[in-house]
Structures are given as C-alpha cells and as structure tokens.
Structure 1
Amino acid sequence: MPHFADGRRILVVDDERSMREFLEIMLQKDGYAVRCAASGTEALNLLREQPFDLVITDIRMKPVDGLEVLRQCKQLSPRTVVIMISAYASTETAVAAMREGAYDYLPKPFKIDEMRRVIQNALKTRGHEVPPHVRQGPLHFGCMIGESPAMKKIYELIERVSATPSNVLITGESGTGKELVAKAIHRRSPRAEKPFVAVNCAGVPEPLIESELFGYRKGAFTGAAVDRKGLVEAAQGGTLFLDEIGELSPSLQVKLLRVVQEKTIRMLGDTADIPVDVRIISATNRDLERMVIDHEFREDLYYRLNVIQLRIPPLRERREDIPLLADYFLAKFSKAFGKDIQKISSYAMDILKQYDFPGNVRELENIIERGVALESSSIILPESLTIATSRRKRHDDQEPLWPILPAQGMNLPSYLAGLEKNLLMQALERSGGSKSKAAQLLGLTLRSFRYRLFKHGLASDESDDLPERKPL
C-alpha cells in the first residue's frame, strides 16, 4: 500500500530522464510534493531557493556529481535527508557517501517497495530528530541495554523482586542475558555487598559438581589433600546463581533441595552440617514444568526454586532494541580493535532488524564483532555482515539450507555481492592467504579469483595476467 505523505517535499536529482520521470510519478502518487533536477548544478540552485525534506540523488553526474550535491545540501540544509542511488556504486563510493552524511544508498535497479521503505524510514528519522544537547542515549539498566516495552517490564520486575528474599527462576532462550538479569537482581538487593557466585550446572562434569558445590574435607577422596570450601558456602550471605539448572542429575537435585529447605550443606567426607544463608537464583532455557511432568526434574525442588519467575524475551520479540545493542557492540569492538568505525549503514541495520536471531543477543554481538574485525572502512555495510540467512534445521540427511526471502523483498545484487565477498575472505582465511588454494576451494581459476578480489576491493590491482575488467 502506498504511504501518503502530507506534502513532504522531495527533490529528485538524476541526469537520466526516464529515472527522473519514474520517481516523480511514483512519489507524487504517494502524496509527496516533488521537484526534479537534471544535473547537480540545477539541484544546488533549487536547494538554495527552497528547503526540501528529502533529496534523492544519483551519484554519477557531470560536472557536479552526487557526492558534491550531498556536501552542499548538508551545508545549506543540515536537516535534509539524502538518499544516494547509482548503477555504478562501489563499496568505496557508498562509504564515502555515508561519511558525508547520506542516510543510505541504493544500487540501481531497485524495487519500488524497497525505495518506498527507505524513504519512509528516512523521513521518520528526520521527524524524530532532536538537538544533540537534549538527545537521550540508549536506556541502560545495569549491564543491560534496551528501551522496548518488553525490557522495561523486565526492569520493573527486577526492581520489585530485588527487595524480596525469595528465590527466583529466570527462563529464556540461550543468549538472552539471563546471568545479566541475575546480577542486576543481586546488585539491587540488600545482599549487594555480599558475594555473587555463578555456577554453570552444565559446564561442570557430573562426578565433580557435588564437590564443587558443597566442598570437601581432607582425605574425602583420592587427591583431596586439604579442606576446600564449596561454592554454596562461598556465596554465604549473598546470591548463588545456578545457570542451566535443568541439567542437574536427580541425585544432585536431592542435595540441592536440602540446601533450599534446611539452609544447610554437608561437605564431602564430613558428618556435620554447615548452616548457609544464600539466596538462590536459577536459570534455564529448558521447559522445567514439562520436565516435572516427564519425571526428569523434582517437583518439590521446582516449586522451591520457582517462587518468582522472570521470562526474558528473545531478541525477535524486542526488535526495537536491535539498533541500540548493535551500536553498543559497534563502539565496544571498534575500541577493542583500535578501529575508527562509527556507523552501521541504515540498509545494514534494516537487515539486522529483519533477522530472527536464533542465538539472540549473543549472536548479534558475534555478528558485529566479525563485522568490525573484517571491515576496512569506517562504516559497516550490508556485505560486512555475516548472517545466517537460512533457517536452522536439523536433518540427518543434511539437506541444503536456502536463504529466506524477507517479506518486504531484498536487493538481490547487493546480497549476492556481499555473499561473494564474504566467501572470498573465508577462502583466503582457510587457505592461510594462498590465492591459488583459495581459488581451488571456490572452484575458480586463479585469474578469476584475482579478478573477484579486485572487484570487491580486496586487492589493489587485477595483476597483468587478468582479462579486461568485465563481468565473468
């Protein structure tokens, strides 16, 4: 459905008449007030005469190109949003445009719906601008970041739960940040000055976890040369966080129940009970209620641990937080790697916002870390993102996984270019930098491989033995 725009003013700049007329007709149908310019010079004259909400400009024009139109536009009207289009845009050109303040760039040919979406998002951005001195940053709650309604509800629950002595069960998918929630509860509780001890129940081998939790006396078993305090006792007065509680064996569940009910532990090799005062916060990505029904988890322990339950929403249920988290990770890894990467392009951000993130926040963090590590420019572009665009399946026959087409469509040339660039880099990494071996991994001749490196800006020249620069 078209988006009717209440007369927002748009300037279209392109030296190709058919493109100008196409965009003019499309935008006028959507309710925009449209002016057209056949050159960069004409566009600058129009910008001096009147303000525009948005400028759509081709990059390749003579004598004044689109980048110069962008620069002059930002000087004449800083709040005007600029979108770049070009049939010849390279990664370097796109980076240059973003550095100069372009909102986004779209390679020709583009889909009508794609152009409409970018225009609508760009105008929303302009409408929501506020002066820098009053601009609010992302909402931080301890180590957590997010301002979606789902996360604000979690923050409210943390504040209410923290003041109570009750045990808490945190549920949610892997990578949602359950330990961060547990730490936030501890830091806001009356126990904040006492220890916070975290135990990954799935990360300790079963023969060792009992001695890790409850400690042991000297001589309790072979190798027990001295007395050793357990992790439960180490949390005395504070909080014991039991991650992946659903992985505990039945025998350990019985011993943990004693801790919860009697507030005592017994060290291995000892006959005396030790009183303990700990608050227990548990976490799991499994369905403990189902495990109780299936007799895989003790019902009495479940209800003792599940006095208050907090469910952490997966990232796909709070997509509003993806830009905040992505920008946070961008700043974090840019600093860690000593790089000056300041921005994620809006098109790249749209890709992130459309992705379901089966690995949640942890997966987003890994994607941004890889993007920063591999990016050589100052902006993260779509081709810098290594995203599993196929749904994750588990089949014994190992059937191939195919990309999923987003509901609003996609820019196929840009996607394929990004995929090719990523595979080239993977092949080079796997071959230890050997171009001949990397070419073999991709089923290419050495000349074809070198050409593709040059095409994607991964090599400074094509080498003397390469064919003329043309699509293979």
Structure 2
Amino acid sequence: MTGPHICLIEDDPIMGESLVERFQLEGFKVDWYRGAYAAQTAIQANDYAVVLSDVRLADLDGDALYMQMLQDGYCLPPFILMTAYATVERAVNMLKLGVRDYVTKPFDLPRLVETVRELTDNHDVNAHVSDENILGVSAAAQELARLVPRIAGRASSVLITGESGVGKEVLARLIHRRADSSNTERPFVAVNCGAVAPTLAEAEFFGFERGAFTGADKQKRGYLEQANGGTLFLDEVGELSLPLQATLLRSIQEKRIRRIGAEQDIATQFDLVCATNRDLESMVKERLFREDLYYRINVVALHVKPLRDRPEDVNWLAQRFISAMAQRLNESPKSLHPLTRLRLQEYSWPGNIRELHNRIEHACLVSANPVLLPNDIFSSDWQRTAPQHSPFPGEDAALNTYQDACERLYIEDMLMRHEGHISETAKALKISRKNLWEKMKRHNIESTRLVVKKQSTQDDRIGV
C-alpha cells in the first residue's frame, strides 16, 4: 500500500538522494524537486501531506516560497524548513508565520522522519486547496471566487448559469460553505429538477403527512423543509413544470411550506441557489418559465464559462484528477507528457470538466505508462474536434513542429510560474528579455490569458 505523499525540495543531489531513499524505506511516497518554482507548480497540483524544503535554493529560497504561496492565498500543507544557516530570529519568525518546524543541518534523521510521520497521521485529502483556488486558476475562475464572499449568506437567491459539466454545483457548494463562518453543520440539499418525476414533484418538494394518499405510510419532509437552516440548491431549475413553479414561488416568498395532507404551514428559512444550462430569459418570452419566478431567483447571477474559454484551468484540473486517482488506486501519480498538455489545452471540451474527468480517469486506469501520452487520452476524435484556427501537429508532423509546440507550452508555463514578470521569466529560461519577447510574438502567446494573479504596478509586468 502506498504511504503518505510528501514533497521534498532539495538542490543538493547527495542530500536529496539520501532523504528520498530514507523516506521511501520508511514507507513514504516522495516527489523530489531541485528548484522552488518546479515544486510550487507541483504543490498547487498535488495533495501533499508534508512539504520538506531546504532554505537555500538556486531559484528561490524555501522560506520565500512559503511566504509567496501564503500571500497568494494557498492553504498550504505543513512545511518543514531545513538549513545549515539558521538564526534564532529567522526560525522564530517563520514558526510564527505557520511553518511547522525549522531544522538545522546536520539534523537527526530518525527524529525528522518521526516528525513527518506525526504530521501525516491526520492528513485530509485535498485539505490544502483553498476556497480561492478550488474553482480553478484562470482569471475567470478567480473572479468568481472573489465574488463569493460578497454574496454568500447575503443574497436572498443566486442564479448560476453555464453549460452542462462546467462545475455549477462546485460553485454552489462554495457559496454554501462561505455563507457561515462557524463550524456548525448546515444542510446542503441538492435537487436535480429534471430528474424529479412530475407526478411526484409536489410530494418531493413539500413533503407529506402519513395517510395523505395511498402509500403514504409515514410522514416525510420535502426538500424545502430539509434545507431549513442551510442551502437549497435547485439544479436545472429550467426543467420545473409551470404548476410547480407557481407553488414554489409562493413558498420561497413567504418562507413557509405546507406538507400534502397537513392543515398547518411550517416556517422554513434557507439560502436559495439555482443553476441552469438553459436560457431562462428566452423561456420567459416563450411562456415556458414564469417571469415572476425568474426575477425572484435572479437576484445575483453568476456565469461559469465553458472550459474551452479558460484553457489555463485544463492542465490544473487534469493534475488534480490524476492525483485523486493515484490516491484512490494507491499508485504513484502519472504525469502528463508536454504534448499531452498541449492537446488538453487545444481540445474544445464539449463535455467541459465532466468530460475532462472522464478522460483522465480512463487514461489512468487503462494506460500502463507512467507518463500519459496524447493517445492515452485522445483517439481519432482529436483531429475532428481540434480548432481549425490553431491545429495541433499530427502524428506524422516534422520534428521542428513538435519542438515549436513544446517550446510554446514551456514558455507559457514559466510565465505563469513567475506571474508574468518578463525579467524573471527570461532569467529562468536563461535567455534575454528581447529573445523572450520575440518568442512570445512568434508563438502568439497572449499575456492576458496567462497572468491570473493580482496585477502589479511594475513596468516589467505583462499586460501593463
């Protein structure tokens, strides 16, 4: 059985190899990175139980990496910093900022192993993914995440629109969690309106008393009553029948419901979040959806863009799904070949996140390779669905075509790691600023689609 998954950041090859060997012998699964920026990308994409980092690194110090990710809003796994140049003041400051331990080289290796083991005992899956980043890393996803605290628990109703499979329920659950800062368990009642049989809809939504009709051998609470004190999430709200829309509108406005067969109303209070992939405005014009109910549920409207319009989220989500699959199967996580990552971004994703999850799960189960190649995820359907304006090179393309594709991906990745700083990116790539600009122009790299963090006022920032 695969043990706890930890991230090691150490640029000394002898020290790194020694630590990897020891932790693997102790039953840990170890990902070893020699640079801070490579580790930063991995920490965002994987569910590490502990991060063990050297302080002095070639590209960015380990404590600076911790501070940078902390300031960017990431809820980090436990960090342990290692250094041969420790000062009491520096150690105390880092411990105050949340670092779990600060060890000085040469250290007691058995004691370090025991410390890591204690930290991994109660590790929760995906616990380090903050609410800010759970929707994705694209600008569109981040904008939605910034709006959530403003409306959660304050708006009387929220309408989420978007294509099927874009993650509308994920956003609804995030709004539910942020509506109450206390630790109390508030109910979240999710209802797929399209799956409720019309003949049973009233009983399902409002409940019934014992003996109210044939087969009602016991009392049952409906969805609206079950959601009391929490959130009622009506998915595919456009599928509701017109008679049920009228009854539902009254209950939402009056905050009262009456079970079938009951003589008294019951007060109920809940946050209402609705979602749909249909055009409700057009349905209102066609008299397929009540106008008064539409305005009642559309106090705040949030639109979740399709995955094809936020390519920055594709590889991030793919890495999340790969990590989750590896943990479920007790296997080492597979990695994505650079060409696979390019194809993931170029694909149109008609099924959105749901399709991405399906393809990644299939590839992880079927492929015996540790690295997922394009054919593991895509078959002949790729050439039919690839965008015509930006075709991906076919399997028989020339070597330089593939090299150009990989170069474009690597430059985009490095720009995102360095938050759009031209000087830092050029330095990391070991090329001049002018050379980088020329390559960006040649590859048609759009800066506004890469910078997803807060904009800086520095002249060196892309897009300024």
For Structure 1 versus Structure 2, the TM-score category normalised by the shorter chain is: 0.5 to 0.7
CA contact (8 A) 2:188 2:230 kept: yes
Determine what percentage of the aligned residue pairs are the same residue.
39
Match 1:154 to one of 144, 154, 160: 144
Answering whether residue 225 of structure 2 is matched by residue 242 of structure 1, we say no
Match 1:282 to one of 260, 267, 274: 274
Amino acid at match of 1:174: S
Give the alignment of 1:93-108 within 5 angstroms. none
Give the alignment of 1:78-97 within 5 angstroms. none
Shift of residue 404, structure 1, vs aligned partner: 6.1
CA 1:188–1:377 in structure 2 vs 1: closer, same or farther (change >3 Å)?
same
Shift of residue 362, structure 1, vs aligned partner: 1.1
Please give the alpha-carbon distance, in whole angstroms, between the structure 1 residues aligned to 2:226 and 2:284.
29
Amino acid at match of 1:343: S
CA 1:214–1:163 in structure 2 vs 1: closer, same or farther (change >3 Å)?
closer
CA 1:409–1:281 in structure 2 vs 1: closer, same or farther (change >3 Å)?
closer
Match 1:413 to one of 396, 414, 426: 396
Amino acid at match of 1:167: S
Amino acid at match of 2:158: V
Match 1:205 to one of 176, 180, 197: 197
Amino acid at match of 1:411: G
Give the alignment of 1:11-22 within 5 angstroms. none
Instruction: Please state whether the residue corresponding to 1:377 is helix, strand or coil.
Output: coil
Amino acid at match of 2:159: L
Counterpart for residue 361 of structure 1? 353
Match 1:291 to one of 283, 294, 297: 283
Shift of residue 163, structure 1, vs aligned partner: 4.0
CA contact (8 A) 1:200 1:243 kept: yes
Counterpart for residue 166 of structure 1? 156
Cα deviation digits, residues 138-162 of structure 1 (max 9, x gap): 9644382412111111011111111
CA 1:281–1:100 in structure 2 vs 1: closer, same or farther (change >3 Å)?
closer
- TM-score under structure 2 normalisation? 0.57
CA contact (8 A) 2:209 2:260 kept: yes
CA contact (8 A) 1:162 1:189 kept: yes
Answering whether residue 328 of structure 2 is matched by residue 336 of structure 1, we say yes
Shift of residue 216, structure 1, vs aligned partner: 0.3
Counterpart for residue 316 of structure 1? 308
Match 1:190 to one of 180, 189, 210: 180
Amino acid at match of 1:237: G
Larger Rg: 1
- TM-score under structure 1 normalisation? 0.56
Please give the alpha-carbon distance, in whole angstroms, between the structure 1 residues aligned to 2:135 and 2:368.
27
Answering whether residue 216 of structure 2 is matched by residue 224 of structure 1, we say yes
Instruction: Please state whether the residue corresponding to 1:413 is helix, strand or coil.
Output: coil
Give the alignment of 1:293-442 within 5 angstroms. 293-386=285-378, 389=381, 407-413=390-396
CA 1:402–1:385 in structure 2 vs 1: closer, same or farther (change >3 Å)?
closer
Cα deviation digits, residues 99-135 of structure 1 (max 9, x gap): 999xxxxxxxxxxxxxxxxxxxxxxxxxx97567627
Greater relative CO (CA pairs within 8 A, separation 6+): 2
Root-mean-square deviation (CA), in Å?
3.1
CA contact (8 A) 1:341 1:377 kept: no
Please give the alpha-carbon distance, in whole angstroms, between the structure 2 residues aligned to 1:261 and 1:402.
46
Instruction: Please state whether the residue corresponding to 1:281 is helix, strand or coil.
Output: strand
Counterpart for residue 55 of structure 1? none
Please give the alpha-carbon distance, in whole angstroms, between the structure 2 residues aligned to 1:176 and 1:167.
20
CA contact (8 A) 1:371 1:386 kept: no
Instruction: Please state whether the residue corresponding to 1:280 is helix, strand or coil.
Output: strand
CA 1:414–1:200 in structure 2 vs 1: closer, same or farther (change >3 Å)?
farther
CA contact (8 A) 2:347 2:387 kept: no
Amino acid at match of 2:396: P
Counterpart for residue 272 of structure 1? 264
Shift of residue 281, structure 1, vs aligned partner: 0.7
Counterpart for residue 165 of structure 2? 175
Please give the alpha-carbon distance, in whole angstroms, between the structure 1 residues aligned to 2:392 and 2:324.
32
CA 1:319–1:387 in structure 2 vs 1: closer, same or farther (change >3 Å)?
farther
Instruction: Please state whether the residue corresponding to 1:202 is helix, strand or coil.
Output: helix
Instruction: Please state whether the residue corresponding to 1:369 is helix, strand or coil.
Output: helix
Shift of residue 314, structure 1, vs aligned partner: 1.0
CA contact (8 A) 1:257 1:301 kept: yes
CA contact (8 A) 2:348 2:387 kept: no
Instruction: Please state whether the residue corresponding to 1:197 is helix, strand or coil.
Output: strand
CA contact (8 A) 1:345 1:380 kept: yes
Shift of residue 402, structure 1, vs aligned partner: 7.7
CA contact (8 A) 1:370 1:386 kept: no
Cα deviation digits, residues 10-62 of structure 1 (max 9, x gap): xxxxxxxxxxxxxxxxxxxxxxxxxxxxxxxxxxxxxxxxxxxxxxxxxxxxx
Instruction: Please state whether the residue corresponding to 1:330 is helix, strand or coil.
Output: helix
CA contact (8 A) 2:334 2:364 kept: no
Amino acid at match of 2:341: M
Shift of residue 411, structure 1, vs aligned partner: 2.6
Amino acid at match of 1:302: Y
CA 1:267–1:358 in structure 2 vs 1: closer, same or farther (change >3 Å)?
same
Instruction: Please state whether the residue corresponding to 1:309 is helix, strand or coil.
Output: strand
Shift of residue 274, structure 1, vs aligned partner: 1.3
CA 1:132–1:232 in structure 2 vs 1: closer, same or farther (change >3 Å)?
same
Counterpart for residue 258 of structure 1? 250
CA contact (8 A) 2:135 2:142 kept: no
Shift of residue 387, structure 1, vs aligned partner: 5.4
Counterpart for residue 79 of structure 2? none
CA contact (8 A) 1:171 1:309 kept: yes
Please give the alpha-carbon distance, in whole angstroms, between the structure 1 residues aligned to 2:152 and 2:271.
11
Aligned residues: 286
Please give the alpha-carbon distance, in whole angstroms, between the structure 1 residues aligned to 2:61 and 2:181.
41
CA contact (8 A) 1:170 1:311 kept: yes
